[in-house]
Amino acid sequence: MKIKLDYGRTGLEVNLPDDRVIGPLSIRPALPLSDPDAAILHALNHPIGTPALADLARGKKDACIVVCDITRPVPNSRILPPILRILEEQGIPREKIVILNATGLHRPNEGAEMVELVGEFVATHYRCENHFGKRLEEHTYLGTTPNGVPAWIDSRYVNADLKITTGLIEPHLMAGYSGGRKLICPGIAALETVRVWHGPRFLEHPKADCGSVAGNPVHEENTRIALMAGCDFIMNVCIDGSRQMTWVGAGDM
């Protein structure tokens, strides 16, 4: 039996023995947002646990916006323009805004990949830069957690007057769920941080599992590190199997 898997850009066709295939499993379809742009604006203006983004941005001299790298299908081309517009309306100069690609220890995304990541307009008109986790000199040491993880975070974020993260919430194999605090650790953390946090001492814990948050040391530790770095505002989304937005939320990390 030939089955086509959703893999890469074109899919992957595999040929399996007929007697080994019970049948395909499909998830219950989610209901996409009827007006995602309106939902984004509502989240920015009515966040959870923080003032509206416009109020936070007022009086700030610069900003760093962290985005997921190419491994996460975040609709950045839809999310970023209203965020950027608010920052500029509140007096932050465009040249003082950096969009930081949270590669963790992944390779950088440049050229056409950066355009795909943030959209052509943002890639053309704004500073879009990659995080390099192996360049320790580009990170700031924030201390060591009680569990012994040294917190080294990208200095462009640490030194920013306004710190914003965006992301995608979906089940994660070890951290419970993606999004939120993961944009900071491991997203913009140095190798020296990731090699401990992502090491066997945390990953072998029975609660370091998909969909598990309570008592999950991987989740708890990267949340602790993210709080050490600080975050003024987050925007996270959920998407369906067709990458349509089903939910958007913003506010306190």
Tally of CA atoms within 13 A in the half-sphere of 126 that contains its CB = 31
pLDDT digits (tens, 9 = 90+) for 168-183: 999 998 898 999 899 9
What's the chain's Rg over C-alpha atoms? Answer: 19
Q: Say which CATH architecture domain 30-251 belongs to.
A: 3-Layer(aba) Sandwich (3.40)
What pLDDT score does 6 carry? 84
Please report, for residues 150, 158, 175, 207, 224, the alpha-carbon distance to residue 146 in angstroms, rounded to integers and kept in the order given.
10, 21, 19, 19, 10
Distance CA 164, CA 231 (A): 6
Q: For the whole model, what pTM was predicted? A: 0.93
Residue 8: Cβ within 10 Å count: 7
What pLDDT score does 58 carry? 98
| Domain residue extents for the chain | 30-251
Q: What is the mean pLDDT of each run of 10 residues along the chain (253 residues)?
A: 86 91 83 97 98 98 98 95 98 99 97 97 98 98 96 99 96 90 96 95 92 92 96 97 94 94
Catalytic residue ranges: 106, 172
At 236, which amino acid appears? N
What pLDDT score does 241 carry? 86
What pLDDT score does 251 carry? 97
61 backbone φψ class: left, alpha, beta (φ>0; ψ -120 to 50):
alpha
